[in-house]
Structure 1
Amino acid sequence: MSGWLDGHAALITGGGSGIGRAVAERFLAEGASVTVLGRDPAQLDQVAGDPSRVHKVTADVRDSGALHAAVAETVERFGKLDTLVANAGVWDYQRQLTRLSGKEIDTAFDEVFSINVKGYLLAAEAAWPELVRTRGSIVMTLSNSSFYVNGGGPLYTASKHACLGLMRELAYELAPKVRVNGVACGGMNTDLRGPEALALGDRSIAASFAKRQGAPPIPLHDSGTDPRDFTAPYVLLAAREQSGTITGHAISADGGIGVRGFARAAGGDHL
């Protein structure tokens, strides 16, 4: 096997489904060994690849001890850690401010930020010493909502803006030993769930895609929504031979939202 990631070892949070699973399987195809971490062991078992190069860890990204254990197990199993893909997240299903009570904001904010932001920071804290040793990299799953509005509600959009700032800050703090970048994905047809605090823990974004009619309202309207279509930038940013001079950068894989924006003129016309 010959690929851009031959001999690499990666740890991917939220690796059992959606873009996390797609990235894990793409990394494996590119020659890497991969630890996939997620809360659902049944999902982790669905990651396809050479069993000798896949390590599965059932854990929550809000658990610092579990993240440190996953890093240690990765090094024990594969000899090193080259890349952390911070990816686990939840979406707020565009629940707007006017549809949220103060109590819901209080509880859902803590849940969304503890997974989407703190989970990234805790993973980076657990991984950075090993990444310094390998002169490795961190790749964060960002979103069009890291730059633009209406890709989520205020909770999700604020969390993804925070992730963009976190990526840039860590790129500065960990240079020159560790590169830190992100991939700002557009809408994907995945099993992404919502916060349990809003009773959205059992709702999958795939159901929303099933109801969609026609092409998505973006310039590259014939681009894919399969998470596998978004994996190439992760490979590029993980491969030091291909992106060794890139840090603090977010690759937008958003179908062209950045050049035209969303179609909706205003969010409060119904008020």
Structure 2
Amino acid sequence: MGWLEGDVALISGAGSGLGLALVDRFVAEGARVLALDRDADRVRSVEASYPGKVAGIAGDVTVPTDNEKAVALALSVFGRLDTFVGNAGLFDYGARLVDTPMEALSRGFDELFAVNVKGYLLGVKAAVDALIESGGSVVLTASVASRNAGVGGAVYTASKHAVVGLVEQLAFELAPNVRVNGVAPGFMRTDIRGPRALGLADRTLGSMPDLDELARALLPMQFLPDPSDYTGHFVQLASRANAAATTGVVVECDGGFSVRGMGPPPGQ
């Protein structure tokens, strides 16, 4: 029997990368999953992989009604909701403040924060009544950039620091009925996109040929994790039996990046 036997989870950004790995792991742990993704083809694919165990819906996490429709579908199909996993995200690929034109910076900020922060907030808001009823939980995807500079650019780093604030504030607000935690993964190969306003809509981490070498050079663990390597922390935090007293926590799993850092500043 898995750690999530009988539970129902709503996972955003569920069609690829870490989100898809989370669907795989949650199903393996006994959960049924409502998969929310902006790409309808990916939604159909993940549904087809798990008939009867996964229901999917195409939607935009930045749109309030799309979040409400996802929760309503989970309740309609599965009858309950135990965990909301906020995972959809954008990455700015290290876009530097001094190199980014003012108008692009402004629009890029709005676009990225709408997904990485507002999308989480709207998802929790849509799910909160169902989660209170089930005594459930929230798990938000933070990042190694939630605690460290130099991984993304200023916009991404600020957004992931904001996720930590959301975890702590919502854990305070929703106690004792709903636990709220986060997981801060490090490097992985995914197809996470960047803001269209910054010209990064088609760029992916998976397209970076030197990502494996970079991970080996920067991480004390000296390997590039797969998205599936991070899923266990989400499962534990979602599990009532294994995290009943845990709320307001962000679990860092960054291959040791935080204890090594980026090395001394240039010229030292």
Please state which band the TM-score falls in when normalised by the shorter chain.
over 0.9
Per the alignment, do residues 7 and 213 of structure 1 end up closer, same or farther by CA in structure 2, a change over 3 Å counting? closer
Matched residue, 2:222: 221
| Identical pairs, percent | 44
The Cα of 1:42 is off from its aligned counterpart by: 1.7
Q: Is residue 2:139 matched to residue 1:139? A: yes
Q: Which residue is equivalent to 2:198?
A: 198
Following the alignment from structure 1 to structure 2, what is the Cα–Cα distance between the partners of residues 144 and 212?
15
Tell me the residue number matched to 2:170: 170
- Higher alpha-carbon deviation: 39-48 or 184-193: 39-48
Bigger shift: residues 138-147 or 98-107 = 98-107
Does 2:258 correspond to 1:258?
A: yes
Mapping for residues 1-271 of structure 1, pairs under 5 Å: 2-47=1-46, 49-208=49-208, 210-212=209-211, 214=213, 215-222=216-223, 224-263=224-263, 265-266=265-266
* Distance of aligned partners of 1:166 and 1:6 in 2 relative to their CA distance in 1, 3 Å threshold: same
Q: Is the 8 A contact 1:132 1:177 kept in 2?
A: yes
Report the aligned-residue RMSD.
1.3
Paired residue type of 1:22 = A
Question: Any conservation in 1 of the 2:117–2:163 contact (CA below 8 Å)?
Answer: yes
The Cα shift of 1:49 comes to 4.2
- Letter of the 1:3 partner, please give it: G
Aligned mates of 2:264, 2:26 — CA distance in 1: 37
DSSP-derived class of the 1:155 partner: helix
**Residue 55 of structure 1 aligns to which amino acid in structure 2?**
A
Partners of 1:84 and 1:216 in 2: how far apart? Answer: 35
**Residue identity in the other structure for 2:169:** E
Do 1:39 and 1:58's aligned partners in 2 also have CA atoms closer than 8 Å? yes
1:66-92 CA-partner distances (Å, limit 9, x unpaired): 111110110111110000000100000
CA distance in 1, matches of 2:217, 2:184: 17
Which string of whole-angstrom CA distances, capped at 9 and with x for unpartnered residues, describes residues 13-44 of structure 1? 10101111100110001110000101111222
Deviation at 1:99, TM superposition (A): 1.2
Letter in 2 for 1:82: D
- 8 A contact 1:218–1:262 mirrored in 2: no
Greater Cα shift, 127-136 or 39-48: 39-48
Q: CA deviation at 1:212?
A: 3.5
TM-score, normalised via structure 1 length:
0.94
The answer to whether the Cα contact below 8 Å between 2:113 and 2:159 also exists between their aligned partners in 1 is yes
Cα deviation, residue 259, structure 1: 1.2
| 8 Å Cα contact 1:28-1:49 kept in structure 2 | no
Q: Deviations over 1:243-264 (max 9, x none)?
A: 0000000110100112121236
Q: Deviations over 1:220-260 (max 9, x none)?
A: 113x4210111000000000110000000011010011212
Q: Match of 2:156, SS?
A: helix
Where does structure 1 lack aligned partners over 5 or more consecutive residues?
A: none
Distance 1:28 1:265 in 2: 44
- C-alpha separation in 1, matches of 2:10 and 2:241: 19
Aligned 8 A contact 1:17 1:44 in 2: no
Shift of 1:50: 2.7
Preserved CA contact (<8 Å) 1:25 1:49: no
Residue 124 of structure 1 aligns to a residue whose secondary structure is helix
> Would the aligned equivalents of 1:91 and 1:156 in 2 still touch at CA under 8 Å?
yes
The verdict on how the C-alpha distance between 1:212 and 1:12 changes in structure 2, with shifts beyond 3 A counting, is: closer
Relative to the length of structure 2, the TM-score reads 0.95
Partner Cα distance (2:54, 2:87) in 1 = 17
* Structure 1 outlier segments of 4+, above 4 Å: none
